[in-house]
Structure 1
């Protein structure tokens, strides 16, 4: 049984949206085990995406898991889901208990080192609906995560996403804000990020 601490919640208190952070959602020991299993067992892909009309390799590895075979598209890339595995299914079930959401899909991201990143974006693809809820689990190396408001530069946040933490981006988060995981200037070990979402 995984050790879970779902009641340790921090509200980021950003206007126009709800962001909830659970810094110790799972214990270090359990997070260590999950990280190693996912690192070794996930069929990681290194795909091309289209940015400003130019095709580039994503600066990270990815894999899509989900049910009903529903594809997910972003930046000119369409991914087709692999079947859920036991580690991801357990996390899905536990996250759903605290956010009242039925997730159909998870995008797994492997940031191999400090050079891997994810630029400014919102998870606002049409198949997610107008105001989606995104649940983001972090495993492995701590990395800086940045959030900024679309129109008001004063509304922003830098968050250190730690091993075993959960960030819930809820109502308004993908409408009014963008987020990114920037490159780091200091050496970083690998980090796995699981972003659970619902495809309509």
Structure 2
């Protein structure tokens, strides 16, 4: 029986499970406040079309010592786990039923902070990566489209305290984004846990 048998998201070639209210609002709020205040945020630059551009959000990468991660041409050496992140990791691992040795924190300060279309399919994540995405703070829309396509085929509202688990062949067939919005939205913190199988 699949871990995702109760999945409410019926997308072909994907294993998705959304757990609204995975962590209680009060506890999630405490996590949000501590992580925003204590994380050494960075805003790295990426090289596109002959120019450097700052990524439109703030980021931090934590993990086991060997969990180096490379994406979008950027190499990340892991910061050591804090007590809070280690506890959140333990709970996410128990939910997902597998070890996770790194977490990417993305801080969306307002609606102009965003994440462009991509798949989490870097070689170091292995053939069928599991990515567990915990949302804290303001709700944002999460879009999915088929690789090679341009039409949004499904959208989710990722709310405070929700956990979205993507597994199986999802990253091979689908891309996702958090688009810019002109609508007023509160700051959002997203923690994406993953297993680095072969460090970059």
TM-score, normalized by the shorter chain, greater than 0.5: yes
**Is the 1:148–1:157 contact (alpha carbons within 8 Å) kept by the matching residues of 2?**
yes
1:76 to 2:73 alignment: yes
Helix, strand or coil: the match of 2:111? coil
**Is the 1:15–1:155 contact (alpha carbons within 8 Å) kept by the matching residues of 2?**
no
Q: How many residues align?
A: 192
1:26 to 2:23 alignment: yes
Q: Deviations over 1:15-50 (max 9, x none)?
A: 111000001100000011000000001110110123
Structure 2: runs of 5+ lacking an equivalent: 1-5
Q: Over the residues paired in the alignment, what is the CA RMSD in angstroms?
A: 1.6
1:199 to 2:184 alignment: no
Structure 1: runs of 5+ lacking an equivalent: 1-8
Which contiguous aligned blocks of 4+ residues in structure 1 show a shift greater than 6 angstroms? 152-155
1:171 alignment counterpart: 168
2:101 alignment counterpart: 104
Displacement of 1:189: 1.8
1:162 to 2:164 alignment: no
**Is the 1:51–1:75 contact (alpha carbons within 8 Å) kept by the matching residues of 2?**
no
Displacement of 1:126: 1.2
Helix, strand or coil: the match of 1:169? strand
2:186 alignment counterpart: 189
1:15 to 2:12 alignment: yes
Displacement of 1:58: 0.3
- State how far apart, in whole Å, the 2-side matches of 1:170 and 1:12 are: 12
Q: 1:153 to 1:112 in 2, by over 3 A?
A: closer
- State how far apart, in whole Å, the 2-side matches of 1:58 and 1:152 are: 24
1:37 alignment counterpart: 34
Q: Report the TM-score, using the length of structure 2 for normalisation.
A: 0.91
